[in-house]
Amino acid sequence: MPTSDSEDDTPSSSNQTEGTKILLADPKTAILRLSLPMMVAMTLMTLYNVVDAFWVSGLGADALAAVGFSFPLFIITIGLASGLGTGGEAALSRMIGARDRAGASSVAMHTILLMTVLAVAVTVPLFLFAGDLFVLMGAGDAVGLATEYARILFMGTFALLFGEVAYALMHGEGDAKRTMYAMAAGAVANIILDPVLIYTLDMGIAGAAWATILAEVIAAVPMVYWLFVKRDTYISLCFREFSPDPAVVRNVLQVGLPAAAEQLALALMALALNGVIILISSTDAVAVYSVGWRVVSIGLTPILAISSAVVAVTGATYGARAYSKMESALRFAARLGLGIGLGLAAATFIFAPRIAAIFTASGDAAGIVPELTTYLQVMSLVYPMVGFGLFSASFFQGTGLGARSLTITVLQNVVLSILLAWVFAIDLGLGLSGVWWGVAAGNAIGAVLGYAWARRYSAGLIVRQAAAAAV
């Protein structure tokens, strides 16, 4: 950690921005001030995903299934970007906590360049082999529509990846408001473009994909302006002064790679669940899972926003070696997530039939209403517990222990969720509803175990720091 008392290293320095001052202040206040704007932005982004499903539902169950089969591949793409962004955000916030502005700027530059390499590596194979992948996934009659939808999405990979990384970097330095503006701009654009391209211009499912790409570009424009033109951020991005540093790359990737692997684990869960669903039901049931998860994402949005704030606040407090503040932030986030989760669970459970009817109101998708209602009601029961796992994973990311975050995610979504979905659905003969119960139970159990692990780690840091101070 830096030990100098130079101007750049003091909290009162003129180089500090409003965002960095938030990160270095009271951790509870920091979580609220960082998470509230993200709640607004992520709610809008989640809403446009749901609106997308609503408009696609008018094209029929095959179109919904096509989006559902594309979902795992899309998770892989966005997951790699999100993982890299999380690695950059965590490393950046630790540098801010250590009062190292030059180090923070170096982290940001390395993260953006890594993103560029990733964009090329991901786009080409997914575009070329999308059709073959959908055949292997058992998409059946939905292969053609799924391929059409996915290939258009992959054409916009660079804008998607840049947006994810830029969001994370600006959020990592505490600039949540402008991040919200950019994300909101993209979300609103997508909501407007969806019906125009799908129906007015009669582009069908291709219109939904093009709406997503255009929205990503619209969201990226202000980020480019703030980071590279206006240059009023804490981090300074200048390619002429950039010097590659393997140590910085490792610092980013020690969280970024496990975070990306977490998203791949979610994709694996989606693929495995699709397989179980097809085994016991039909592609219509895949449509239930696709639409249902999008609706559930609205409920998870506030909790996900808090978890994003936990990464930045944990990183800053860890970088400053303020371990008591770090633990206080985790406990506050857990209480906040529990309260929000209880309220959302009650609302979702009560209104599940109406919500299901809204998103299957047209075309031949109306037949999935009963099963979609069941899905929403079962999954709503896990809302109060989800935060404990997400915040614990974010906590470990902030401290640079990405492997532990990955362990929590894999335990919840791959090991426990898939195992219990199989047991409930097939071994216990509960059928499709057993899949939903298995996923809910796996997430709840994994969340509790992850939170206990995080609390034990933070307590250990505090004890060791106190012992060192006493010597």
pLDDT at 263 over 80: no
CA distance 203 to 209: 10
Helix (H, G, I), strand (E, B) or coil at 362: coil
CA distance 166 to 77: 16
Question: Which is more confidently placed, 49 or 400?
Answer: 400
Q: Is 425 exposed, middle or buried (0-12, 13-18, 19+ CB in 10 A)?
A: buried
User: Minimum mean pLDDT among 55-69, 295-309, 402-416: which range?
Assistant: 55-69
- Contact criterion met (CB below 8 Å) for 454 and 395: yes
CA distance 36 to 176: 8
pLDDT on residue 366 = 63
Name the percent of the chain in helix, strand, coil, to the closest 5.
85, 0, 15
% the chain with pLDDT above 70: 93
pLDDT at 342 over 90: yes
% the chain with pLDDT above 90: 33
Q: Kindly indicate the confidence band of residue 360, based on its pLDDT and cuts at 50, 70 and 90.
A: low
> CB atoms < 10 A from the CB of 353, how many?
15
pLDDT on residue 11 = 38
Highest mean pLDDT (candidates 25-39, 345-359, 364-378, 397-411): 397-411
- Terminal C-alpha separation, the chain: 20
- Contact criterion met (CB below 8 Å) for 434 and 426: yes
CA distance 157 to 221: 15
Tokens at 342, concatenated: 């209880």
pTM over 0.75: yes
Average pLDDT over residues 419-429: 89
Question: Which is more confidently placed, 238 or 312?
Answer: 312
Q: Kindly indicate the confidence band of residue 307, based on its pLDDT and cuts at 50, 70 and 90.
A: very high
pLDDT tens figures, 140-158: 777 888 888 888 888 888 8
Q: What is the mean pLDDT of the chain?
A: 85
Q: Quote the distance between the C-alpha of residue 361 and its chain's center.
A: 28
Q: Kindly indicate the confidence band of residue 273, based on its pLDDT and cuts at 50, 70 and 90.
A: confident
Whole-angstrom CA distances from 366 to 69, 302, 362, 363, 433 are 19, 29, 7, 7, 18
Q: Quote the distance between the C-alpha of residue 328 and its chain's center.
A: 23
User: Minimum mean pLDDT among 108-112, 130-134, 173-177: which range?
Assistant: 130-134
Whole-angstrom CA distances from 242 to 117, 249, 255, 324 are 16, 13, 22, 36
pLDDT on residue 144 = 84
Q: Quote the distance between the C-alpha of residue 231 and its chain's center.
A: 26
> CB atoms < 10 A from the CB of 381, how many?
17
pLDDT on residue 174 = 87
Question: Which is more confidently placed, 310 or 271?
Answer: 310
pLDDT at 7 over 60: no
pLDDT tens figures, 188-214: 898 899 999 999 998 988 898 899 889
pLDDT on residue 363 = 54
Q: Kindly indicate the confidence band of residue 336, based on its pLDDT and cuts at 50, 70 and 90.
A: very high
CA distance 28 to 461: 19
> CB atoms < 10 A from the CB of 76, how many?
19
